Structure 1
């Protein structure tokens, strides 16, 4: 979410490349890099705290607030200073579009309304006792305390007669604001995040070759978004399988660093092709793997030459 190790590598590399020509853009990329590293650490903490301790509720909320604030600030820097200046820089453009979708991915997981994740800030924290609502000045319910024979003869006997008078429409009790609404509006961010992921994937398909690690990063997080946020398990598995196939079909070479990143991402994608199948009752025990590519070892990714040779039209524009 927000940035993987692959994204962070490209943020640093691209920031250095544009520093001599565009100091402002380089500065913003370095700031987003530092922010994304901090954000990755905070989200990792939350995922480890699947069941926060009731005695540490304040610390848990502060952690959630910090995650939302970091994502909001990163998105502001990205939209105001990076996206307008990416121009025809191929890798930088893909990275910027991917980071925008990734920040919204964080909003969906932690601050979506309705809540779709157990780690979200709108989800009640386990272990917190629920305080019953007290009726001021009434104590017990008097209707139950007075026996039927002792009721006054002037009390209404028809169900539609008498009773409390409610406030007119629009003047009822004010609903409490969702937690964290002071940082970010509490709305449904899924449609926006999904649209931005589709844009990032389309851009990566058009500008980067099949085994490019940044392209794999885009599709890996999109597959995670489909599974975790849209609950589209079949779509997530299909995307992971298709992405692995694209890697094996690619004929372009990779340098050592990109090759290692591609191996790691293919391993993650291979696990995603099986995600959710263990709980599927329609899958018979001992059934063959749904995709032979998913069981292949990551170190079998073809690498034709030791140096990176981009496809025609895929040269680095920076």
Structure 2
């Protein structure tokens, strides 16, 4: 018994007409009739009643049709998974991302990839843009979520979204509501300069625009740690506006800053390393 015998049987069972079934299958009627007869001979039962110039399923044929339809769906799923494995979607896929990306977005991405590629082993690395660029250049990451600038001849990137900035502070500790210049005498919490130099310098530039040099007392390599320090009243900070939604704590207040200051978030991959998984991931994030 071959797979084509089963496909031929299902076509005839659906049409109950050999001529119509042969048209659907794009074969002539005599070979189709012969293939069905071979199937009946092999399993030892008559599947169709061909009397009175009509084609009807026998009781055995009706049962065979019902069960075959059910199990063929399982077979199609098996074939699909087999194809996925053959396309190398059952290995390890490494994603780097900066901590200032909404955690929910990363979770949604992993859920999407897990559903689409169930045999994929996804590894996540929360690392700085600088370290991601090096890892991408060395093919140690398959996908990187970084902040511009990204200058490398070994990496391809796409703009994911543009982000503006907000001042964040604990309103229970600081009773102010003006623009950034009113906070010039406050303690500031920034990303570590060596960890995220471009981001660090961007924040200095913003403060300079508002006429002061920030008093940076605390530094951290993680945005969640920075926000926690601010929540505890240990300083104020400047963060990407996109984080407001995921850190909407009652004690925190946000002040929108000059919209001319923006930060570009990029989706990056090693150049000349094409991957269907990366295409899927990037398409999902860009939707």
TM-score of the two chains, using structure 2 as the length reference:
0.22
Q: Which protein has the bigger strand share?
A: 2
Normalized per residue, the structure richer in helix is 1
Q: Give the structure with higher Rg (CA).
A: 2
